[in-house]
Chains A and B, each alone.
Chain A
Amino acid sequence: MTAERVESVLELLTYTKGVTGVVVCNRDGQPIRDSFQDLDRTRAVEYADMAAELAREAAPLLYADDTLDSLRVRSRTSEVIIKCHDEFLLVVIQEFSE
């Protein structure tokens, strides 16, 4: 995937209806890029840390010949979708309307 391709996919995700945030982070929970507007990246750090922790916790639950593909954590107000890759995690946050 070229850099332009990555940019267009991230932009597509960011402006999808209902999506309130997109974070790309590594497996250690350090955000590489995000769509939030706060300068200190507080929310990006929080979501990246959550995603890395859950991905780490979920990996041993699978069979030896299986690999983790994605996680979806649905809460009362939002759903966090974590797409897993060998090196990176893609986190998409969707908000629900009442």
Chain B
Amino acid sequence: MAATGGGDIEELVKQITDHPGVQGLIIVNTEGIPIRHTFQEQSRPLAVQYCALFQSLAMKARTAVVELDNNNDLLFLRVRSKKHEVLVAPDTKYLLIVIQRVGNDDNLPVNIKKTP
């Protein structure tokens, strides 16, 4: 995410938010401040909360990965619950958080056979 102006970032934001099922997107800087988010303005406290919580989780995951192997590093993190899935992409200067809805099996493009 170089300093090439807002155009590239806006293109990226639009590309992600236009994806079906995406409910929110947050870009966080190293101080934990959300510099860009797609929440409604009255939901800004929620965006700030997501920033703090998932930044902490990403740091914990990175620590765990490096503990297992010194030459390794965290690339991506997915937290899936019954209703939502949060995707966290850490970088040196920024953290990208995407929140998307967990679809039912009926919504999947491929039929998954249920194990008996």
Contacts and interface: CB of A to CB of B under 8 A. Distances in A.
Q: Is the interface of B mostly helix, strand, loop or mixed?
A: mixed
Interface residues of B, number: 27
A79 B79 CA distance: 13
Contacts of A13: none
B77 A61 contact: no
Q: Is the interface of A mostly helix, strand, loop or mixed?
A: mixed
Contacts of B77: 71-74
Contacts, number: 74
A50 B67 contact: yes
A67 B102 CA distance: 12
Most buried by B among A50, A67, A75: A75
B16 interface: no
B107 interface: no
B68 A47 contact: yes
Contacts of A58: 57, 79
12 contacts: A46-B67, A54-B64, A57-B57, A58-B57, A63-B83, A69-B82, A69-B102, A72-B80, A73-B64, A73-B74, A75-B73, A76-B75
Given A66-B83, A71-B80, 4 more contacts: A60-B53, A67-B81, A73-B61, A75-B72
